[in-house]
Amino acid sequence: MGKRAGWAALIAAGVGLALFITLFSPFASGHPDGLERVAEDHGFHHQAKGPVFEIIPDYAVPGVKNERVATILSGVIGVLIVAAIGLIVGYSLKRVARSRAASGSLPSAPESTTPGPPGTI
């Protein structure tokens, strides 16, 4: 397996695991998180301002009647958005590094003189 295929498999496994975990999101606690709980306990939760923009309000896809399915879909959408952003940023950084190395503005990595296991580069 080449270096590129290894990274692709690792990324696919990570995204796959994150998507699998979203199946369990409907079983997460319905109670507020720590910060919300403190605000409620101390009586200042009414001062909180809502977000300016919400892609998926209240972690449920609007228009889906089944609450569990709506929660799972919101998780899937979130995982795919984060994975896409990560891939775009990674690809962009790789292109910048390659163009800098080609132009000579970045020093190339030194060759390793330490022998590794057989079959490694």
Residue 47 forms part of a structural domain: no
Residue 33 forms part of a structural domain: no
pTM of the model: 0.67
Please tell me whether residue 1 adopts helix, strand or coil conformation: coil
Dist. CA 17–CA 13, nearest whole Å: 6
Provide the domain limits for residue 16.
10-27+57-105
Q: Give the pLDDT confidence score for residue 46 in this predicted structure.
A: 85
Q: In total, how many domains does the chain have?
A: 1
Residue 2 forms part of a structural domain: no
Average pLDDT by stretches of 10, the chain with 121 residues: 81 94 85 78 86 85 92 94 95 90 69 60 58
Q: Give the pLDDT confidence score for residue 119 in this predicted structure.
A: 60
Residue 114 forms part of a structural domain: no
Residue 4 forms part of a structural domain: no
Dist. CA 40–CA 35, nearest whole Å: 9
Residue with the two structure tokens 């590794």: 116
> For residue range 66-100, what is the model confidence (pLDDT) as tens digits?
999 999 999 999 999 999 999 999 999 999 988 88
Q: Give the pLDDT confidence score for residue 1 in this predicted structure.
A: 59
Residue 21 forms part of a structural domain: yes
